[in-house]
Structure 1
Amino acid sequence: MGAYEPLGEAERDRRAGPSPPGGLLDLLSVAAVVLDTRGRIVFWSPQADEVFGYTAEEALGRYAAHLLVHEEHRDLVVKLFAEVMGSGASWAGAFPIRYKDGSTRRVEFRNMRLLDDQGDVYALGIAADHATLQSVETDLALSEQLVSQSPIGVALLDTDLRYLLVNPALERINGIPAADHIGRRPHEILPFLDAETIELALRQVLVTGTPLIDQYAVGRTPADPDHDHAWSVSDYRLETPSGRVIGVATSVVDVTERHRATTEAEQARRRLALLADASARVGTTLEVEQTAHELAQVAVPDLADVAAVDVLDAVLAFRRTSGTHEGPELFRTLAVAAACPTPATAAMKAGDLAAYSSDRLITRCVHTAQPIVIAHTEEKDLQRIARDADGAAAFTEAGVHSYLAVPLIARNEVLGTLDLLRARNPLPFDEDDVLLAGELAARAAVAIDNARWHQSVRNTAETLQRSLLPGHPPHLTGLDVASLYQPAQASHEVGGDWYDVIPLDGDKTALVVGDVMGNGIDAAATMGRLRTATCAFADLDLTPDAVLQHLDRITRGLEHYIATCVYAVYDPGDHRCRIANAGHLPPVLAPAGHHPRLLNLPTGAPLGVGGIPFHTTAFDLHPGDRLILYTDGLVETRHHPIDERLGTLLHTLDEPRRPLEETCRWLLHSLRHPEDHDDVAILIAQATPAH
């Protein structure tokens, strides 16, 4: 093809129908002059004033040869005039004419014979200044070369948005011959792009006249159907000098490299933002399930439409050791997150335990400790991802088309996998996604591993502590008791609180509540030693202050530990209760029919401080009266003064009475916040009539 391929006149007329007159003659200053059979001027167009220098009043009625031609050229003019009038042959060429000021100018002529409806004969001459025509020809040639050789795609479209001209650059961009564009609209030849938006922009420019500059378009064309390209598109309205709209011009510049660089920079920014978000959101607690849930939530929706965290059950139970494994694996799904409701989540529920054979992708991921990515999943792939046939059907229904699994590795041990699915997001997982998912998994795996170890320590400490606490209290004379122990929420804070109910000789009962200042297994072990010692000293029938004195001496022998303790002995014979306090919060006395109150006891020093004596205080505890002993985890908070919290405790106990066991639970529910990180021990004793 040439520099460009305009629509032929006949074809354009056939497709577009009649068009209004253009402004080309005005633009080129073309003059029209009509002569009668005698050679006199009978019509003089306004443009002739500029071409010849005479006005219509000066020219009409005069002989053209005498007015416009030098004497040496008149014979030739008369001869040419006679040929046109006689034979009807047209004549065209450049001819020197005499301008009004007497100078000579070369003018381009097109002459032809005319007949009117009366049969009269005239000669029509169309003329234009030779220099003007040369300038126009130069401009047209230059424009044609610029358009045809430009690396920028250029197209001209009419007011119906049909292509009139397409240059070679745009032909290469679209991958479609220029001739196939002509007479057709963008949506007819560019169905693989967002042609609707392209045409909407073109119509906007046609209506408003405001150019649209540097509009982005991204997609694929037949020129490169396997890769996305980006183009900067600018649209301009075309008008004649008189202001008539004749179409729109569009220029297209391939900016794929710039677009890729921008996209890569944006992707890098998003990856950093996601990693920063994960650092802040993953591992906020020492709970395995919560940490897994935080990881799944971070991955959705920026990285995947559905995310699941599956951990090997043997890892959670500390049965697995590092090394190579073969065969099926048992996984526990700890967390599932989805960008929106989808059938895929029904196939992978948090808490589920499932065995996966060695040919499943999740099993291969933990066996090889390498990511598994299926950019475009097929039915057979979904069957190797899902737990069973129903799960594969759910994935198909959800439109899952891409899958990525990355191993969770901490301390050279594979804990499980982070599984990612894409359904709504049309892009497949790529290498950048694999790297990002790997970064997330690496950070989260450490948090999950820390949580499982801490949870194991907590379980051990809690088991030890519960084993050291008393079981169901025996039948007591003149006393009903109820107790409750609630371990701390954090694994490293389990272990310090205890209570005890010790039957003594003479139907008496010792009541003990204490708190070792420390956490973990060591604190639980210390608590066990103090409880054992307390039972031993209680059997000696010592006064409460004497028991605390012995416990203080023992505690001083324990490295780095002190403890608070309340020790009371109730005698149902005289309904008297004798009590001593070693730095513990004051017990509550709730007499039957009266408001509860804090016992005013000498506070004493915690066990292990030494050098400070303890004191025994006696008070009546009649049938129906209650004594409430508790540890500081029930009332202390970080945000309220202790006096305010003790007042809340009394107010809670002042409500209508509940049974003892229910009262324990009610106090725990009313006073302890779920996020409080301390043990709680509660012991309630109610005096009963002696039998």
Structure 2
Amino acid sequence: MNAMTGSDTAGDDRAAWRPDDPIDESATARACMDPHGIVTGWSEGARRLLGYRSAEVIGRPAASLLPGEPPAETLRSLKTLPRWNGTATLLHRDGHRLAVNLLAHRRPPDGEDKEGGEWLLVSPLARPSSPLQDDALVLCAFTGSPFTTALYDTGLRLRRANANMERVIGLPEAAMQGLRVSEIVVDPESDRTEQCMRRALETGEQQHLQQSLHLAGQESESVWTTSLTPVRDAEGTIRGVLLSAHDVTEEHLARGRLALLNEASIRIGSTLDLARTAQELADVAIPHLADFVTVDLLPAIEGGDDPLAGSPPSPVMLRRVAYQSVLEGCPEVVVSLGTVAAYPDESTAARCLTTGRPLIENVTVPVIDQVARQAPDRAEQMRRFGFHSVLAVPMRARGITLGVATFSRHRRPEPFERDDLLLGEEITARAAVCIDNARRYTRERLTSLTLQSSLLPQRLPPQAAVDVASRYLPASTQAGVGGDWFDVIPLSGTRVALVVGDVVGHGIQASAAMGRLRTAVRTLADVDLPPDELLTHLDDIVIRMSAEGESAADTVGDIGATCLYAVYDPVSRRCTLARAGHPVPALVTPDGAVEFPDIPAGPPLGLGGLPFEVAEIELPEGSLLALFTDGLIEARGRDIDQGLDLLRKVLARPAQSLESTCDTVLQALLPDHPTDDVALLIARTCALDAAHVATWDVPPDPSAVTEVRKKATRQLDAWGLDEAAFVTELVVSELVTNAIRYGGAPIQLRLILDRNLICEVSDASNTAPHLRRARTFDEGGRGLLLVAQLTQGWGTRQTYTGKTIWAEQALSIPRSSPSTRTD
């Protein structure tokens, strides 16, 4: 607004104007006055009216221009009203008195003091700016016009105004005649209106614009569409401009509400995170609906539980999960995020939840006093920031009350109305559904995590083939819990199986499928199947699980999975691997070289009818095998090859331990929370040297049993295991005898000393022995029964050349450093 009077306060008494500019600034007497009554601006029109030059007036009290004290009623109006108009008596420089029509506007101050600010005083001078024929123009402009209409001459001075214009502006036509738009309505939009009026005069074309105006006497802005039409006389000469305006505030607000609903549908519920969804509701409502918003939920909601039926108990306990304000830093906040606060029965939030209906409350002095008796800190903030209207909406979804959203106004002067209530209900209802989805998802996620945690190995079993470390990271809240798993399974002959798998999908279904597959792998591993055969059986199981899912109404149909199964033998230091659509493991040799072995991919589990291939590699003692699921190497903004290259670089660095290696890998590849489940299993290979293994070839002759038994006894003596000799002799006799009688050459006996003592007999037959109970007069059939009772365990595994029968004895006696006899 200072720009509007820039020429008025210049040192020159004459207003600068161009000959081609139709506006004569000197046609209006204008003056500015600060809040203390000191003149700060003086126009050429004011000099023409009262005779004073600007240098003689600026800096003097405005009261010196009056013949006496102004009426008390006028002083009261100037202190309280944004605008004043009337007749004032002023003193001319030569001493005579002048009665003038005066219009005074208060310019809004920069701060919040509504009684401060500078005053602009305008008075039209009694001279026409152009030869305008009133009768013809009035007949043309005002007959039947339903709009707010005013007629301006070519100098942009008001000549006539209809009744609608008088009502909207709040001034009679006589008080506005001879004034420009910018002098009638003190608003930045007035300058834009005058620019369009000039353009209409210059081009002869109608101009249109839409404006938001803060008219005097109105608490809020109103929106207008304005048409500026050149007015011509009978000869076609432009004689003025007709301003026709239509109040479209309601239509504008309706479009704003629709836009806010559309924005809410896009922004609210972008994730399944409960707190973030609540914050999105608060963010959307600011500033279009409210100045301050809080979202409070019943405490049971965040844990995924259903709240109790009926009204909440008194006092209502609510947890603050989100808030937002038009003021930076949200200084209005009393209850911080995550805090559970009590709300008395008389509070807006409690009454809203008790009745189950939204409500609007005007914040009056008695209301604040009532709040102060129960929550003084809240009442203090309400007074400090000038809260005047509150809208509370219950958050309900699927018949469950979740909490309450509270919208407050302290900057916007207008109170909440019914349309605001409907809008608040709409966006809150959407947020409530999204929050309930997040609540249900949280409950399912916790159930899945619990289920998955119970299905994953709680501790890795003791074995001497490898040293292992593992990590499992569930996916982010948005992605949900998946079906990744790992396992370490001790096998016969000191061997160990290393397993990593991944079930496609997330949630309880994936966790349950993962548990079934892990159990199936352990069962198949007990049978000691080769890796490729094990994956073939696992493929059949996945196909059956998918068929079961399709026939069940409450489960997902197809189930897909990938798996890597590796068997490491510390005696031969060979590792046999097969994979079903799973990423290749990383191999780190003792010299620090990192490679990804060439292992045939194999189809994912569940396709059926396709073979799996085996790869066998020899691992030097101290080699590292890193098995992982695809969540480790796949990430947003990074492809698989980049992930593998980064993993190669991390594994090439020396590490103090396997545990630190796991941590380093996860920190490097997943600095943020993973978007998919991650299972990581790192194993360092060990080896059993010749001092722990004794092997003898056995001739296929029953007479060889005695000699083999003696060799085994001498080996036990060398290992310091004399007390195990009796059981070992019996086991060797039984297993070797069965191999000679029922098996085929070549036959081999092997003793392995590890944590336990293992006896293995291999032959070329694929026929496995069966444990049976001998009848009273049977001459045979008791040997394997004795072996089963005297040893910790026994079994059979198929080999590519036949079978191996093994028996394992637990050792509890101290022994010296082992040595191997070769006799």
Fold agreement, TM-score > 0.5: yes
1:563 aligns with 2:561: yes
1:654 matched residue in structure 2: 652
CA distance in 2, matches of 1:527, 1:679: 12
Paired residue secondary structure (1:278): helix
Range with greater deviation from structure 2 (504-513 or 677-686): 504-513
Paired residue secondary structure (1:634): coil
2:411 matched residue in structure 1: 424
1:509 aligns with 2:496: yes
Q: How far 1:374 moved relative to its partner?
A: 2.1
CA distance in 2, matches of 1:630, 1:313: 39
Q: How does 1:595-610 map to 2 (within 5 A)?
A: 595-610=593-608
Deviations 1:501-521 (A, max 9, x none): 223444433211111233321
CA distance in 2, matches of 1:176, 1:296: 42
CA distance in 1, matches of 2:162, 2:603: 97
1:270 matched residue in structure 2: 256
Paired residue secondary structure (2:482): coil
Q: How does 1:302-317 map to 2 (within 5 A)?
A: 302-316=288-302, 317=304
Paired residue secondary structure (1:374): strand
Q: How does 1:422-571 map to 2 (within 5 A)?
A: 422-477=409-464, 479-489=466-476, 493-559=480-546, 560-571=558-569
Paired residue secondary structure (1:518): strand
Contact 2:293 2:324 in 1 (8 A): yes
Range with greater deviation from structure 2 (640-649 or 460-469): 640-649
Range with greater deviation from structure 2 (531-540 or 669-678): 669-678
Contact 1:343 1:397 in 2 (8 A): no
Q: How does 1:286-435 map to 2 (within 5 A)?
A: 286-316=272-302, 317-341=304-328, 344-378=331-365, 380-381=367-368, 384=371, 388-435=375-422
Q: How does 1:191-206 map to 2 (within 5 A)?
A: none
Range with greater deviation from structure 2 (671-680 or 311-320): 671-680
2:676 matched residue in structure 1: 678
Q: How far 1:681 moved relative to its partner?
A: 0.8
Q: Is the alpha carbon distance of 1:197 and 1:474 closer, same or farther for their aligned partners in structure 2, counting shifts above 3 Å?
A: closer
Q: Is the alpha carbon distance of 1:603 and 1:425 closer, same or farther for their aligned partners in structure 2, counting shifts above 3 Å?
A: same
Paired residue secondary structure (1:627): strand
1:239 matched residue in structure 2: none
Paired residue secondary structure (1:425): coil
Deviations 1:45-79 (A, max 9, x none): xxxxxxxxxxxxxxxxxxxxxxxxxxxxxxxxxxx
Paired residue secondary structure (1:592): coil
Paired residue secondary structure (1:632): coil
Q: How far 1:648 moved relative to its partner?
A: 3.2
Deviations 1:419-441 (A, max 9, x none): 11222333322222212111111
Paired residue secondary structure (2:422): helix
The structure with higher relative contact order (CA 8 Å, sep 6+) is 1
CA distance in 2, matches of 1:590, 1:359: 69
2:576 matched residue in structure 1: 578
Which amino acid is the alignment partner of residue 531 of structure 2? P
Contact 2:332 2:385 in 1 (8 A): no
Contact 2:317 2:340 in 1 (8 A): yes
Structure 1 gaps, min length 5: 1-14, 20-138, 235-249
1:619 matched residue in structure 2: 617
Deviations 1:185-244 (A, max 9, x none): 99xx99xx8599999x99xx9xxx99xx9998966778x99999999999xxxxxxxxxx
Paired residue secondary structure (2:545): coil
For normalisation by structure 1, the TM-score amounts to 0.63
Which amino acid is the alignment partner of residue 647 of structure 2? L
Contact 2:307 2:400 in 1 (8 A): no
CA distance in 1, matches of 2:373, 2:487: 53
Paired residue secondary structure (1:515): strand
CA distance in 2, matches of 1:370, 1:689: 74
Q: Is the alpha carbon distance of 1:264 and 1:198 closer, same or farther for their aligned partners in structure 2, counting shifts above 3 Å?
A: closer
Paired residue secondary structure (1:517): strand
Which amino acid is the alignment partner of residue 353 of structure 2? V
Paired residue secondary structure (2:631): helix
Q: Is the alpha carbon distance of 1:387 and 1:441 closer, same or farther for their aligned partners in structure 2, counting shifts above 3 Å?
A: farther
Deviations 1:519-551 (A, max 9, x none): 321221121122122223333444333433443
Paired residue secondary structure (1:350): coil
Q: Is the alpha carbon distance of 1:282 and 1:428 closer, same or farther for their aligned partners in structure 2, counting shifts above 3 Å?
A: same
2:643 matched residue in structure 1: 645
- Alpha-carbon RMSD: 5.1
Structure of greater Rg: 1
Contact 1:635 1:671 in 2 (8 A): yes
Paired residue secondary structure (1:557): helix
Deviations 1:129-148 (A, max 9, x none): xxxxxxxxxx99999x99xx
CA distance in 1, matches of 2:459, 2:373: 48
CA distance in 1, matches of 2:418, 2:355: 18
Q: How far 1:498 moved relative to its partner?
A: 0.5
Deviations 1:238-283 (A, max 9, x none): xxxxxxxxxxxx999996xx32xx1111111111111111111111
Q: How far 1:375 moved relative to its partner?
A: 3.4
Contact 1:454 1:491 in 2 (8 A): no
Contact 2:465 2:568 in 1 (8 A): no
Which amino acid is the alignment partner of residue 281 of structure 1? R
Q: How far 1:631 moved relative to its partner?
A: 0.8
Contact 1:219 1:230 in 2 (8 A): no
Which amino acid is the alignment partner of residue 414 of structure 2? L
Which amino acid is the alignment partner of residue 446 of structure 2? N
Which amino acid is the alignment partner of residue 467 of structure 2? D
2:266 matched residue in structure 1: 280
CA distance in 2, matches of 1:290, 1:385: 31
Deviations 1:3-36 (A, max 9, x none): xxxxxxxxxxxx96679xxxxxxxxxxxxxxxxx
1:667 aligns with 2:654: no
CA distance in 1, matches of 2:578, 2:323: 53
CA distance in 2, matches of 1:376, 1:639: 51
1:635 matched residue in structure 2: 633
Q: How does 1:64-79 map to 2 (within 5 A)?
A: none
Q: How far 1:175 moved relative to its partner?
A: 7.6
1:136 matched residue in structure 2: none
- Calculate percent identity across the aligned residue pairs: 39
Structure 2 gaps, min length 5: 1-47, 53-131, 229-239, 547-557, 689-753, 755-823
Which amino acid is the alignment partner of residue 599 of structure 2? L
Q: Is the alpha carbon distance of 1:275 and 1:387 closer, same or farther for their aligned partners in structure 2, counting shifts above 3 Å?
A: farther
CA distance in 1, matches of 2:655, 2:397: 52
Paired residue secondary structure (2:500): strand
Range with greater deviation from structure 2 (404-413 or 336-345): 336-345
Aligned length: 534
